Amino acid sequence: MTSFFNSERQLLVAKRQNLSEEDFIAWFNGWEPRLRLKKACMVRQRFRCCYCKKFRDSANCLHWDLEHILCAEIYPQFYDADGNLAIACSRCNNAKTDKDVLDPRVDRPPEVLPSDPAEYTIPHPYLSDWDEHLEHDNYFLYEGRSAQGTNLISVCKLNYRVEEAAGVLEGTIDAAIVSKFFRLLPPASMGLVPEGQAAQIAKAAVVANEEVAIDLQIAKLQPILDRAARREERLAQNVH
């Protein structure tokens, strides 16, 4: 569950009615159920940043930022909207800052939170299929498959590590990526791989091995958060 409980939503409505926008945001940032929502987002997003998709082996709320897809600076009306909240790594969140990712063709201010992925200038964490918009080499070098994907690379500076390494000789990064992929393939099989397809096959092997390892880590983390969510739901139901 990545939304607020009914009792929490009722409190949010009451607070919005009685507080200024600035005071509401300050109150929300210190509200305890906000941490539960971060944990729920961890489960939904499989412990991956909503933008760079890097996995982090941690259920500690301090290791994740609660990301407002439409930023609070421009769209404070959606600050507590369920569909506008996700978790991001601090690096992506700090790079995105208050950039406006709502498509310029959408009327301002929108009356409701936009629910069409085409109404955003980046792939939406929940409405879009990330893999349709971006591809990556080991979550290091990113390339856009669509205008939204290319824009996300710019908005969150996803290729910052490649840029930081720009002082190396040309081709060094590509060589390092290829060599990493090939280490996972049995040497005896290399002669059997058709020319031009070796890198793609090796890349698939890297990704498959990483995903198996991540699934094992998630299997250990998720039950902890599930138990916490059930406990907090019982407590919320007892609040009148």
Ordered per-residue pLDDT tens for the chain, 240 residues: 467 888 888 999 999 999 999 999 999 999 988 888 898 898 889 899 999 999 988 888 889 999 999 999 999 999 999 899 999 999 999 999 999 999 999 999 999 999 999 999 999 999 999 999 998 888 888 888 999 999 999 899 888 877 776 554 444 444 444 454 434 444 444 344 444 555 555 555 555 566 666 777 777 777 766 776 666 666 655 644
Query: How many residues are there in the chain?
Result: 240
Residue 215 lies in a domain: yes
Closest to 50 in 3D by CA, of 140, 154, 112, 128: 128
Is 210:142 a contact under the CB 8 Å cutoff?
no
pLDDT of 182 reads 36
Other Cβ atoms less than 10 A from the Cβ of 133: the count is 21
The pLDDT assigned to 194 comes to 45
Q: Is position 54 within any domain?
A: yes
In a domain, 17, yes or no: yes
Residue 1 lies in a domain: no
* Residue 109: cis peptide before it, omega within 30 degrees of 0: yes
| Residue 53 DSSP code | -
Distance (Å, rounded) from C-alpha 1 to C-alpha 46? 13
Identify whether 97 is part of a domain.
Answer: yes
Nearest of 175, 148, 177, 173 to residue 163 by alpha carbon: 173
pLDDT attached to residue 187:
44
> In angstroms, rounded to a whole number, what is the distance separating the alpha carbons of residues 124 and 101?
9
The pLDDT of residue 218 is 74
Range of the domain at 188: 6-237
In a domain, 40, yes or no: yes
If one counts every other C-beta atom within 10 angstroms of the C-beta of residue 164, the result is 8
Q: For the chain, how many structural domains are there in total?
A: 1
Spatial contact of 83 and 75, defined as CB atoms under 8 Å apart: no
Per-residue pLDDT, 171: 43
